[in-house]
Amino acid sequence: MSATAYPNYSPGLEGVIGGITTISEIDSDRSSLVYRGIDVHDLAEKGSFEETAYLLLYGKLPNAAELENFKEILANEREVPAEIYTVLKQLPKQTHPMDALRTAYSALAGFDPDYTTVSTDHDANVRKAVRIVAKAGTLVANGHRIRQGQEPIAPRKDLSIAGSFLYIMNGGTEADEFTTKVMDASLTLYAEHGYNASTFACRVTVATLSDLYSGVVTGIGTLKGPLHGGANEEAMYMLQEIATPENAEAWIRDALANKKKIMGFGHREYKKGDSRAMYLTQVAKEIGRRMGNTKWGDIADTLERVMLEEKNLYPNVDFPAAYAYFLLGIPIDLYTPIFVIARTTGWAAHAIEQLDNNRLIRPKCIYEGPHNVPFIPIVER
């Protein structure tokens, strides 16, 4: 039966209000995104991921002393217990990094000093959140090393979250200032985005009075799908298929003619362009210019023009992130785990907000199955 037969039903819950939050706001008409009232562009350009994490978790921007103290706490919580690396080493080599990361956080829960606290303890939840955020970059980078048959590298306490992640990814070589800034800005842009699929799933989990780690594990599992976090990986595979700027226009027009899904374009929340993509597009193309490799940016220019002309669609944040990360030498199947490094902040903030004023999330559904079916004894079936 058509969904239109039910006036109170919206497929995919589109347009349905699922709750009230003070964490972020998406303004579709103005193509803007704010974290606790502050424009995300200002945070990405003028601030840092650590400032953004503090803002999301504590509700305000830190002053200088608060930021330094927060950075010190993050640095001291950045290392991962050796037992977690032992778990990761037992996984099959073909395990997707998102599955490995989900497993790591599940195992990590019992090591948290606040493991036995009740799930509604606000202060304990904030402490858990800080540990979850601090360890994400280390888990992703060293999880990749383990998958490559290499030993983990100790994270650097004197670097930012972005810098320490790149340090491990580069085999113990510190990244330059611009590269670190690009990674830092991308983490800020990916940190939070309202009641998206993974965040809502996280809130549903903790609303049962489960804990933050369970919420993060749920978030990772939800984010893995190509219609959510996996879109940046698919966007890069698409760019690789196009291969050269000369192929771009013919490829995109053929794809449109054959109704092929174009990854990295359009967004349910933004009708006039994804605000996050605007800044990251500039940065991604600047990376190419600095490296003397403008191929991906040139392909992107063509795809952006044709998609706007033919479909009135703008790129979302996953599109520039795809070739920005590729230019930085990040393996494609780590793009979504990098998303996790950022989004742990948003998930944790939402989990804390949910638990601070909790109500079990339990929507209704519409039954369209048969009625009055008689039970037939097994000997007669």
Query: Could you tell me the sign of the dihedral formed by the alpha carbons of 245, 251, 256, 261, in that order?
Result: negative
The catalytic position among 41, 144, 193, 267 is: 267
What whole-number distance in Å separates Cα of residue 265 and Cα of residue 87? 37
What whole-number distance in Å separates Cα of residue 129 and Cα of residue 88? 22
pLDDT of residue 299: 97
Q: Which domains does the chain have, with CATH numbers?
A: 40-225+332-356 (1.10.580.10), 231-327 (1.10.230.10)
pLDDT of residue 202: 98
What whole-number distance in Å separates Cα of residue 74 and Cα of residue 341? 13
DSSP letter at 268 equals T
User: Is 274 assigned a catalytic role?
Assistant: no
Per-10-residue mean pLDDT of the chain, 381 residues long, equals: 72 89 86 91 95 98 98 98 98 95 98 96 98 98 96 98 98 96 96 95 98 98 87 92 96 94 80 82 93 96 95 91 95 95 98 97 94 96 94
What whole-number distance in Å separates Cα of residue 293 and Cα of residue 247? 17
pLDDT of residue 226: 80
CA atoms within 13 A on the CB side of 203: 22
pLDDT of residue 194: 93
What whole-number distance in Å separates Cα of residue 232 and Cα of residue 223? 11
pLDDT of residue 2: 47
User: Is 123 assigned a catalytic role?
Assistant: no
Place of tokens 């989004």: 343
What whole-number distance in Å separates Cα of residue 151 and Cα of residue 255? 43
pLDDT of residue 4: 63
The Cα diameter of the chain in Å comes to 77
pLDDT of residue 3: 56
Helices (H), ranges, the chain: 40-46, 49-58, 64-76, 82-89, 97-108, 122-147, 161-169, 177-190, 197-206, 212-223, 231-242, 245-257, 275-291, 295-311, 318-327, 335-356
314 contacts 306 by C-beta, under 8 angstroms: no
Place of tokens 């090393």: 145
The catalytic position among 318, 333, 356, 371 is: 318
DSSP letter at 94 equals T
What whole-number distance in Å separates Cα of residue 102 and Cα of residue 95? 11
Q: At what angle do helices 335-356 and 97-108 cross, to 10 degrees?
A: 40
